[in-house]
Copies of this chain bind each other. A is one copy, B any other.
Amino acid sequence: MADSTPASDVPRYLTGDKAGLREFLAKYDVFLFDCDGVLWSGDHCFPGTVETLELLRKNGKQVVFVTNNSTKSRADYCKKLESLGIPSTVEEVFSSSYSSSIYISRILQLPENKRKVFVIGETGIEQELRSENVPFIGGTDPAYRRDVKPEDYKLIAAGDTSLLDPEVGVVLVGLDFHLNYLKLALAFHYVKRGAVFLATNIDSTLPNSGSLFPGAGSMSAPLIMMLGQEPTALGKPAQAMMDAIEGKFKFDRVRACMVGDRANTDIRFGREGKLGGTLGVLTGVSSKEDFVSGSVRPHAYLDKLSDLLGSEL
């Protein structure tokens, strides 16, 4: 799947190169940002992040914060950005829950009587589905937070409408801290009956407290095993997310640049999306070696994002 970068294509190191930085920035109107590892790490905002974003905005660049976090709505995510001291607007945030909602409402062509979404996930997904006027069931509804009962099996097997809503045409799986057997059984039967199988993202783990916990991909894993079918993923590096971002911002891909710390997800996301630019930063997961000699390489890289300030624009 991953487009390998041609071996001749050596990324340009731009830190301290004022002319190079100016030339690079002039090429793009839109900057898509991965957040953790680029703008901040954990709860710590990198020095110069705020000033760098200001510089871009002042020069007329569109800034988009791209996150796979599906538990938060865009409004929730803005609050998180603000708590780190980073000014932002809801319009600048693009989360996998929003991506999923856009994909369902604007890209999927669902029959009139199959427009309802069965949600495995938390409130962030629900808020974004509401913002796109997509009807849904499941999610945080307490009616689904219960044990499976002996009579459920017969009702589900028979397709009884008390448990299986005939209008459900999509199963959307995101991170759900209340995952249970009943939800998995229902999701399985909806897909078997023809519903489209979507995942907000397929990250198997979720970083928290310096360690890892079950991520959204782990919620889809039982269904993938049962169905023998992968979901369409709406988060990075899936191109469905890029399509959704383009659907919203209507930008020219040649004039857009993806900024990230991870070659295999962020840079790959931009490369596979045929963006004009990809910019790696060394404040996160990938190393200089990854960027310079890995199989997926950015067009340019910096020690840190705030090195863009060296353009003195």
- Would A157 and B211 count as touching, CB distance under 8 A? yes
Count of A residues near B, CB < 8 Å? 36
Kindly provide the distance from the CB of A191 to the nearest chain B CB, expressed in whole angstroms. 12
Q: How many copies does the complex hold?
A: 2
Taking CB atoms and an 8 Å cut-off, the chain A residues in 211-243 that contact chain B are 211-215, 217-219, 221-226
The verdict on A178 contacting chain B, using a C-beta distance below 8 Å, is yes
Instruction: State in angstroms the CA–CA spacing of A204 and B178 once bound together.
Output: 21
Taking CB atoms and an 8 Å cut-off, the chain A residues in 165-187 that contact chain B are 176-181, 184-185
Taking CB atoms and an 8 Å cut-off, the chain A residues in 185-219 that contact chain B are 185, 188-189, 204-205, 208-215, 217-219
18 A-B pairs (CB sep. < 8 Å): A147-B177, A148-B177, A153-B211, A153-B213, A154-B209, A156-B211, A157-B209, A157-B210, A157-B211, A176-B181, A178-B180, A188-B214, A204-B222, A212-B226, A214-B222, A221-B221, A221-B225, A222-B222
* Given A154-B209, A178-B181, A204-B226, 17 new contacts (CB under 8 A): A147-B177, A148-B177, A153-B213, A156-B209, A157-B210, A158-B209, A177-B181, A178-B180, A179-B180, A179-B184, A188-B213, A188-B214, A205-B226, A214-B226, A218-B225, A218-B226, A221-B224
